[in-house]
Chain A
Amino acid sequence: MKFKSLLFTAVALALAAGAHAKSIELLNVSYDPTRELYVDFNKAFAAHWKAKTGDNVVVKQSHGGSGKQARGVIDGLPADVVTLALAADVDALAAVARLIPPDWQKRLPDNSAPYTSTIVFLVRKGNPKGIKDWDDLVKLGVAVITPNPKTSGGARWNYLAAWEYAKRKLGSDDAAKEFIAKLFKNVPVLDSGARGSTTTFVQRGIGDVSISWENEAFLAIKEFGADKFEIVVPSISILAEPTVSVVDKVVRKKGTAEVAKAYLDYLYTDEGQEIAARNYYRPRNQAIAAKYTANFAQLKLFTIDEAFGGWAKAQKTHFADGGTFDQIYAK
């Protein structure tokens, strides 16, 4: 009897202790290549939050093409935070569905982009076609792999990087358009997302060069071996700023505003920046970046605001129906 009551007390105490530590669940809706990054980051954040508040937080991840993911959230996927490939897709949450305020990008430092990346070339070992810079991609007989910019966020960065290179070198938008048209003549397959393109290039053996996120290129080398592929860094490229935001309407309903904000803030801490760097994203924090200079080649980077006057404008000129991308195929 005595033993039984002791057991009962123990169980009751355990239950009470368990009830004390809250269990929180967050959903982070992200884009294709961040899988590995957020697996690491979520683990670190859960430990940090547990130490700080005693609560358990489990972060679920959802990945896919950036545009598709944004549409999922607009259609009702209850994301507490979004961490998407480009500001235009987060803008859609504000413009199409009013889930977040229009000035969302000012709420966090560095345009709400805690880490950056850029666009580089992944080529086959030994670089048999001798690809060094963007103008090698339009040469006759070079097969280029890039996803469809209409469906892939990464592909839009690729497209704009090539455009700006051509514009600076050849001097005009018309010449840049011609350059892009020539480049896309060399593209034999248009996958719908960045991961699909990497698969086509790496596993199906199609193409001589894949235009790719820097982190995706590093990952391909890590997964498939440095004996098969190498990275070529062009003379100039675009500073890709994948942006993050709390989804206000969702966190208000779920009561997760505080932890969701802390989650994104944690991306800017030393630990967060270190995890990003380890996963081949360029950290914003200069001290951390200095530790990883070996990973990140120095090259001239321009931002989308400098070169194209922001995403909304670039989207309209180049990727909307009837934009330059449609025009080069309409001929």
Chain B
Amino acid sequence: MSIAAISLPRFSRRVLPGFGLSLGFTLAYLGLIVLIPLGAAFIKAAGLSWADFLTAVASPRVLASYRVSFGISLLAALVNGVFGGILAWVLVRYTFPGRRVVDALVDLPFALPTAVAGIALAAIYSKNGWAGQWLEPLWVGTVHRLAGWIPWVDWQGWLGKTIAFDRAGIFLALTFVGLPFVVRTLQPVLAELEPELEEAAATLGANRWQTMTRVILPELMPALITGFALAFARALGEYGSVVFIAGNMPMHSEITPLLIITKLEQYDYRGATAIAVVMLVTSFVLLLLINLLQKWSRRYYRV
């Protein structure tokens, strides 16, 4: 057999249709599903004069809602990053009875209509719910004690008075919806990560802390950041579950999506889209920053 007989044809044939067709399809698809609806929001908001736009997106009440939405979403995503990481670790590294059930439970927040989640959370954590009746006095006590120790911080203003129907409730709902994103992005990476790596580290004299911080975490970091970003983005857009448990007090526990709905209820379509545009741009910038961070972390840790 001559060598020429097995050399590939000059233009290699791929299994799927070529670049032109698939890119065209991608753009058309993205256009229909994502870009055109988003573009419509921008066009609608563009109907406002600059001054009207500013009053719509920068009134004190709207500004307060940005703080609530972005702040609590960030907090919820961070907590999910830590506890979702532990959960993923347990699910991948250990076998125990009921593991498959736990694994399936993680997907529940994906599948459950968020309104159902909100109602369920409110029922459980309200002061006559079965968890709330124990936890609420604890929470109220904690906030009081904090106020006693560090009196110059407005603890009640920051943490709220109760669990359900206050800021803590928003945090619960946002943690709930974000959890699967962290677990599901980490799981495949963890599964690829061979236990031999840890063993090698141990034989080379690394203690557990060093193995964790120098060997395992660097490998997980990019996936962890992706999971965090997804959970954060999801939390920002969440509406259905939050309104049932937030209490929705102006200036204190109103999330931005609720204000968008409020504007719509008043037939103020432009004001609503103006706020939506601000949310959109801010989320986009934040996600871009997180992406950059991820790229940087990959390079940093690979060295």
Contacts and interface: CB of A to CB of B under 8 A. Distances in A.
A204 B122 contact: yes
Nearest to B265: A67
Contact of A321 (B129, B162, B247, B271): B271
Interface string B248-267: 11110000001001111111
Given A96-B267, A205-B126, A329 B247 contact: no
A71 interface: yes
B156 interface: no
A92 interface: yes
B61 A326 contact: yes
Contact of A330 (B60, B267, B268): B60
A232 to B, nearest CB: 22
Nearest to A97: B267
Given A204-B123, A204-B128, A329-B61, A150 B266 contact: yes
B47 to A, nearest CB: 15
Contacts of B60: 330
B235 interface: no
Nearest to A329: B250
Given A151-B261, A320-B266, A330-B61, A190 B248 contact: yes
A179 to B, nearest CB: 18
B243 interface: yes
Interface residues of A, number: 28
A321 B126 CA distance: 31
Contacts of A320: 266
A326 B62 CA distance: 11
A28 to B, nearest CB: 21
A15 B85 CA distance: 66
B250 A71 contact: no
Contacts of A68: 265
A151 B266 CA distance: 8
A104 interface: no
Contact of A190 (B128, B164, B247): B247
A189 interface: yes
B66 interface: no
Q: Which 5 A-B pairs have the closest CB atoms?
A: A329-B250, A205-B128, A67-B265, A204-B126, A190-B248
Interface of A: 65, 67-68, 71, 74, 92, 96, 148, 150-151, 187-192, 196, 200, 203-206, 319-321, 326, 329-330
Given A71-B267, A188-B249, A319-B266, 16 more contacts: A65-B265, A67-B265, A68-B265, A74-B267, A96-B267, A150-B262, A188-B161, A190-B247, A192-B248, A204-B126, A204-B127, A204-B164, A206-B126, A206-B165, A329-B250, A330-B61
